[in-house]
Amino acid sequence: MAEEVVAEIVASVLEVVVSPGQQIEVGDTIVLLESMKMEIPVLAEEAGTVTDVKVAVGDVIQAGHLIATID
């Protein structure tokens, strides 16, 4: 079953590190967010293949926003 990676806070997307089809391991950075002048990496909680990335650099996302899916 696919894991949905969601934002935990309101933030701006500074960098998208992964792309669809990429293999990732637990702890790999998926995206880098910025909130209140702090850079916050969003890390993979399970290994797998990135199936979709739903954000782009410059997007402002809300808590609960889908960032990516990992299969």
- CATH at residue 37: 2.40.50.100
Kindly report, residue by residue over 10-34, the tens digit of the pLDDT: 999 999 999 999 999 999 999 999 9
Residues ≥6 apart with Cβ < 8 Å to 69? 2, 3, 4, 5, 50, 51, 52, 54
Residues in the chain, how many? Answer: 71
Kindly report, residue by residue over 25-63, the tens digit of the pLDDT: 999 999 999 999 999 999 999 999 999 999 999 999 999
The Cα-based distances of 60 to 10, 36, 69 in angstroms read 7, 13, 18
Domain span at 33 = 3-70
The total of structural domains in the chain comes to 1
Average pLDDT score over residue span 62-66: 97
Closest CA to 65 of 11, 16, 3, 2: 11
Q: Which two tokens stand for residue 31?
A: 């995206």
